Structure formats: structure tokens, C-alpha cells
Amino acid sequence: MEPVKFCVECGKPLPAEAKHCPNCGAEVSDLHLTPSADVQQVAPAAPPQGPPPQPVSAGPYSAAPVAPPQPAQSASYGGPGAAPRSPYASPAPPQAPMAPNYQRARGATAAKRLGGGFIAIIGGIAMLAAQGLFISKQTTPLNLQNLLSVGLGLLCVVSGIVALAVRGWVPVILAALLSGGVFGLCGLRLYQTVMELQAQTPAEATAWTLQSGGIIWIGGMMLGMVAFAKAFQSLFSRR
């Protein structure tokens, strides 16, 4: 097999009888003959590949890696822009619904009340006890005046019970008028008792007051008058 010649300038194959390269015109000599079997095209060598770069650990002076921005998440426990909460956090306890009659109950509790009820009851009981002593010891004959005194004691007890039971402005005003009537009757009966004591001798007045229970009678009437003062005062208070 005839060897194939190649141009040493451009590397193109040459005809067998060529003296000059038909491609670049360079002169062909026998020294540049290269058999085709020995001609090998050397492929460019691939650049040497080293080991893959290792991640550099963050040192004390290295910058911390910046995390890629995360897409905005909707607030699961609040409105837009609410701070995120842990899914393991215990939810707030549900509030008990307000009873429909709550406001009505508050209004009933805060209704107007009348004072002096207990004082009137104690005063009436004292007057009834004194009249019982008078009748038992027969220091005073049973007559219309004594019956009126017993009725005054009962009226004082009733006014005290009414004062404790009523609520609201209209019932309170009516109960205050009843307490005012007891006040007037007690004042009138107390005046009559003082006049009767002045008509007696000092020894008889002292014996009636201390031994026959007159001091209880006088104290009961005074308590009935104080009860009206407390009731009148409660009309102008905020309670």
C-alpha cells in the first residue's frame, strides 16, 4: 500500500505525485511522508478533575449562610400579619356564652332598697315585749290605749319586714311612707309616755321605768323612730 502524504503546514492529505500542497501551496518533501497507519489524531486531553470541593464549615469569622426567602404563609391562628404560633400550643379555652337573662338579673340585684328594716323589727318586738310585761304585772289596766300600743308594736314589725322585702323605686317610696307613719305614731306615743311620767312622783316613775319594763317600751319606740331615719337616708344613697 502506497503511503499517504500529508502537508506539514495545514495537515491536509496530498496526492501521490504532488510537489506542492494544493491547499496551502507549501512545498512537499520526502521527509514529511507519514504513513496512514501511523497517523493518529490525538484527541485533546481532558483537564484533570480533582476531588469535588468540600463545604467550608462556618468559622467564627465566616458569614452565616443566608437562607433563601420563604413564601409568605397564611396565619393559621389569626388574621393577616398575625404572629405564627406553634401547632403544639394549647388553644385558648372557650368563653362561656353569657346567659340571656344576665343583664336582667344584674338589674334586679342592683334595684333600689330601703334601709332600717332590721331596726324597725327589733323596735317593734321590744314594744310588744314591754306591753306583755305591763299586762302580766297588771301595772296598767287593759284598755284601748294598751291595745293601740300593741298595734303600734305590730305595725313597727310589719314596716321593718316590708322595708327588707321591697325592691325598686315605687315600692321603696311606699315602704318609706309606711315607715314615716310609724315614726309619727312612735313620736306621739313617746311624748304621751313622758307626760305621764312627769305626772307621777319620781319614785313611781323610776319603779315603772326600771322594774315594770318601761325602759323597754321607751327603747322600742326610739328604735322605731331611728328606723325611719335610716330609711329616709337610704332614699338618697346609691345603693
pLDDT at site 55:
52
Asked if the model's pLDDT at residue 211 lies above 80, the reply is yes
**Residue carrying the nine cell digits 362561656:** 96
% residues pLDDT > 70 (the chain): 62
Q: Which helix (H) or strand (E) holds 160?
A: helix 144-165
Of 212-216, 225-229, 233-237, which one has max mean pLDDT?
A: 225-229
- Domain locations in the chain as residue ranges: 1-38, 111-234
Asked if the model's pLDDT at residue 199 lies above 70, the reply is yes
Asked if the model's pLDDT at residue 183 lies above 50, the reply is yes
Which pairs from 79-85 meet CB under 8 Å and 24+ separation?
none
Q: Between 96 and 212, name the one with better pLDDT.
A: 212
Spatial contact of 112 and 237, defined as CB atoms under 8 Å apart: no
Backbone angles phi, psi at 145, to 5 degrees: -65, -40
| DSSP reduced 3-state for 90 | coil
pLDDT at site 213:
87
> Model pTM?
0.54
pLDDT at site 39:
42
pLDDT at site 20:
77
Lowest mean pLDDT among 5-9, 193-197, 233-237: 5-9
Q: What is the pLDDT of residues 34-87, one digit of tens each?
A: 444 444 444 455 555 655 555 555 454 444 555 555 655 544 444 555 555 555
Mean pLDDT of the chain: 75
Q: What does the block give as the cell for 23?
A: 491547499
Which pairs from 188-191 meet CB under 8 Å and 24+ separation?
189/149, 189/152, 189/221, 190/218, 190/221, 190/222, 190/225
